[in-house]
């Protein structure tokens, strides 16, 4: 050991920390795999998981320690400058190792929620410390305490270990130092890229399964988050992930998939702008959209889920209930994007958070403002969360009501006031607005059904013990919703208002499939005076809701939405939905589903709605082309500012549409 230490000289501490961290990361991966043993075993990928995981770890550590090791070969010595650098090197080694450890300690809780290793969402939540710390404190206190205990002990142990491995180092002669530094840099770059090919290490290179969780276990969490941060700067370019497509072919495919005649497309500059005539021809109605947090279909009794929503089930008998409605994503901002803008999902963040969509981006609030509606967003938490207030104010919403605007609320949790407080305030607002001559539109966004599931005592008969669980929170959210509609149906605004109750996404999307379809299914219900009770069994996407609502309200418009007006489609019309699960995009058309994966071949599956299971199927080139067109359109529209309303003076001109697809 002493001979090796002398031979390696100032590289010795890095070798020791490299081996120590390889052991840590491998043990963590092995532990996580043992926890998910059934899913790992089903893929038959134990050897791949561990060996390729080691490859990812070497790449991660090469990025983390390669450059400092190069400078150490140049600077470390038994003099003032050299000793100062050695101290900085110890700090780097210890802090870097603690970061790796912290990410692995955070992984189990993240997997429990998102069924993946920490990724882009981990970074996005870091900018909201108040909400996140409150959630951890109330719902994950044991895990928080363990991390708080383990990290200081690890820091103490690693600092002592660094002192030991840095003691009595040998140093090369000055003329060998540049040679060794270049050699270390070359080895470090080779280890970081982990390939001699054109593309270096990336998650697609080591992915081997159709189970996204198992693929993520091959990585380590620091690498997963680091790669996600790197991708943020170019995330809006879907063609880099799913392949390119000629613009003319893309637009022709989208128009053909819409099933609409060429005469409906009315702009030479905005490719998806269409003329839409409302099916309801009376006085334009008010609109209230109630976006329910994390209320997947599995919590809704009338959709075959747990008996947690007696009020929603009762209301479903009075309105237009969708049996097969699917969310476009797994985050609240993705649900907002789909329901409020009708925008198709992309592998980027939702447009609510992207720079180019903060003003001039189409929303139904913007359209209704042009129709002289009063528009508002009512929320129980802080409106700045996920940039909601900024996006809304820049795109058609006149008024934001958030946590600061509630006086003496009944209950305040980590995510804001309770749903009861939210709906009481909404009811007051609608009562006031109904006394004026101006019609109104409001988005009401609930938050009680969110981890750590805090809600007032003595409101519901608990479904289970302890109190703060997903199921109990879902039941409380339904209780608050029921109380609101009891008030609304007795109010002056009821007869003039159209209501949509819809979930933003399911509470947890998980499973061994590339896209777990069953966990994208959410409830959707349209209520109001004149809405006939019906159960709609068609396949419906969240992006179909806004066009349908405008039609039911009596609003004629030219807008860029690709969603379908369900009032004008036959009852037996085949439906299609699109779902974004991390970087995978799925188009489910009838029972056939194409999944696009980053830098990999597309796959097709058959989906059974009875068993909620996927089975492999032959790839249909036409369906693949449609899926790719939908997947690429969002990035193209966002980057080029194509998803907007025309300027008032802009002349509309019919656009010629290709009658056949390009080969």
Q: Which two tokens stand for residue 95?
A: 């802090």
Give per-residue pLDDT as tens, 441-497.
Answer: 999 999 999 888 999 999 999 999 999 999 999 999 999 999 999 999 999 999 999
Using 50, 70 and 90 to split pLDDT, how confident is the model at 660?
Answer: very low
235 compared with 8, residue with greater pLDDT: 8
Which residues are bridge partners to 579 per DSSP?
Answer: 586
Task: Kindly provide the residue ranges of all beta strands, DSSP E only, lying in 212-341, ordered along the sequence.
Answer: 274-276, 286-292, 320-326
CA 372 to chain centre: 33
Alpha helices in 516-658 (DSSP H): 545-553, 621-640
Using 50, 70 and 90 to split pLDDT, how confident is the model at 658?
Answer: very low
The answer to whether residues 521 and 325 touch, using CB atoms and an 8 Å cutoff, is: yes
Average pLDDT over residues 645-659: 54
Per DSSP, the three-state class of 241 is helix
pLDDT at 186 over 60: yes
CA dihedral over 171, 172, 174, 180, signed as positive or negative: negative
Task: Please give the mean pLDDT across all residues of the chain.
Answer: 90
Using 50, 70 and 90 to split pLDDT, how confident is the model at 136?
Answer: low
Give per-residue pLDDT as tens, 274-288.
Answer: 999 999 999 999 999
pLDDT at 650 over 60: no
Would you state the pLDDT for residue 235?
A: 57
Domains of the chain: 2-232 (no CATH), 286-567 (3.40.720.10)
Give per-residue pLDDT as tens, 540-555.
Answer: 999 999 999 999 999 9
Cα distance between residue 449 and residue 295, in whole Å:
8
* DSSP H/E element including 180: helix 177-193
Q: Which two tokens stand for residue 94?
A: 């210890």
Give per-residue pLDDT as tens, 421-450.
Answer: 999 999 999 999 999 999 999 999 999 998
Using 50, 70 and 90 to split pLDDT, how confident is the model at 652?
Answer: very low
Give per-residue pLDDT as tens, 165-182.
Answer: 988 888 877 778 888 888
Would you state the pLDDT for residue 402?
A: 94
Would you state the pLDDT for residue 144?
A: 78
The answer to whether residues 586 and 514 touch, using CB atoms and an 8 Å cutoff, is: yes
Which residues are bridge partners to 377 per DSSP?
Answer: 400, 443
Model confidence, pTM: 0.85
Would you state the pLDDT for residue 238?
A: 79
């Amino acid at each position: 050991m002493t001979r090796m230490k002398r031979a390696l000289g100032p590289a010795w501490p890095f070798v020791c920390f490299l081996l120590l961290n390889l052991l840590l990361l491998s043990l963590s991966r092995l532990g996580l795999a043992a926890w998910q043993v059934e899913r790992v075993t089903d893929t038959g990928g134990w050897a791949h998981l561990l060996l390729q995981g080691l490859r990812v770890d070497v790449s991660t550590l090469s990025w983390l320690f390669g450059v400092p090791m190069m400078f150490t070969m140049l600077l470390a010595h038994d003099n003032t400058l050299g000793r100062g650098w050695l101290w900085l090197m110890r700090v780097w080694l210890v802090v870097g190792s603690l970061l790796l450890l912290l990410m692995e300690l955070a992984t189990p809780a993240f997997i429990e929620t998102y069924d993946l290793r920490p990724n882009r969402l981990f970074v996005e939540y870091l900018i909201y410390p108040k909400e996140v710390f409150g959630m951890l404190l109330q719902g994950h206190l044991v895990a928080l305490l363990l991390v708080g205990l383990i990290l200081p002990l690890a820091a103490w142990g690693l600092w002592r270990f660094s002192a030991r491995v840095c003691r009595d180092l040998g140093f090369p002669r000055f003329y060998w130092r540049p040679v060794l530094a270049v050699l270390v840099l070359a080895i470090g770059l080779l280890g970081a890229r982990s390939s001699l090919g054109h593309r270096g290490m990336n998650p697609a290179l080591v992915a081997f399964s159709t189970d996204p969780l198992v693929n993520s276990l091959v990585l380590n969490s620091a690498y997963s988050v680091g790669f996600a941060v790197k991708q943020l700067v170019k995330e809006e370019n879907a063609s880099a992930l799913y392949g390119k497509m000629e613009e003319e072919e893309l637009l022709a495919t989208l128009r053909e998939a819409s099933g609409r005649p060429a005469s409906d497309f009315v702009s030479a500059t905005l490719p998806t702008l269409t003329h839409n005539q409302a099916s309801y021809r009376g006085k334009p109605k008010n609109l209230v959209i109630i976006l329910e947090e994390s209320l997947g279909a599995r919590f809704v009794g009338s959709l075959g889920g747990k008996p947690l929503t007696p009020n929603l089930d009762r209301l479903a008998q009075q309105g237009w209930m969708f049996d097969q409605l699917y969310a476009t994503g797994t985050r609240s901002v993705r649900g907002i994007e789909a329901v409020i803008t009708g925008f198709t999902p992309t592998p980027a963040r939702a447009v609510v958070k992207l720079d180019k969509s903060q003003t001039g981006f189409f929303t139904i609030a913007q359209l209704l403002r042009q129709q002289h509606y009063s528009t508002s967003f009512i929320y129980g938490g802080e409106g700045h969360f996920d940039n909601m207030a900024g996006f809304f104010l820049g795109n058609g919403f006149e008024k934001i009501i958030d946590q600061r605007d509630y006086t003496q609320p009944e209950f305040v949790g980590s995510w804001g006031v309770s749903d009861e407080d939210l709906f009481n305030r909404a009811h007051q607002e609608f009562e006031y607005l109904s006394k004026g001559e101006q019609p109104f539109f409001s988005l009401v966004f609930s938050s009680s059904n969110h981890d750590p599931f805090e809600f007032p005592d003595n409101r519901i008969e608990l479904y289970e013990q302890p109190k703060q669980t997903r199921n109990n929170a879902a039941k409380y959210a339904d209780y608050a919703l029921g109380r609101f509609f009891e008030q609304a149906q007795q109010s002056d605004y009821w007869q003039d208002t159209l209501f949509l109750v819809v979930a933003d996404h399911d509470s947890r999307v998980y499973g061994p499939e590339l896209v777990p379809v069953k966990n994208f299914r959410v409830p959707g219900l349209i209520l109001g005076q004149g809405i006939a009770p019906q159960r709609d069994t068609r396949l419906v996407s969240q992006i179909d809701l806004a066009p349908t609502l405008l039609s039911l309200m009596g609003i004629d418009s030219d807008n860029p939405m690709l969603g379908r007006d369900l009032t004008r489609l036959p009852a037996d019309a085949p439906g299609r939905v699109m779902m974004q699960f991390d970087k995978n995009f799925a188009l489910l058309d009838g029972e056939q589903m194409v999944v696009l994966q980053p830098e990999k071949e597309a796959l097709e599956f058959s989906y059974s709605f009875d068993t909620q299971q996927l089975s492999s199927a032959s790839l249909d080139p036409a369906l693949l082309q449609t899926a790719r067109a939908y997947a690429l359109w969002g990035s193209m529209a966002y980057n080029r500012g194509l998803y907007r309303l025309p300027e008032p003076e802009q002349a509309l001109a019919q656009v010629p549409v290709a009658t056949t697809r390009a080969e």
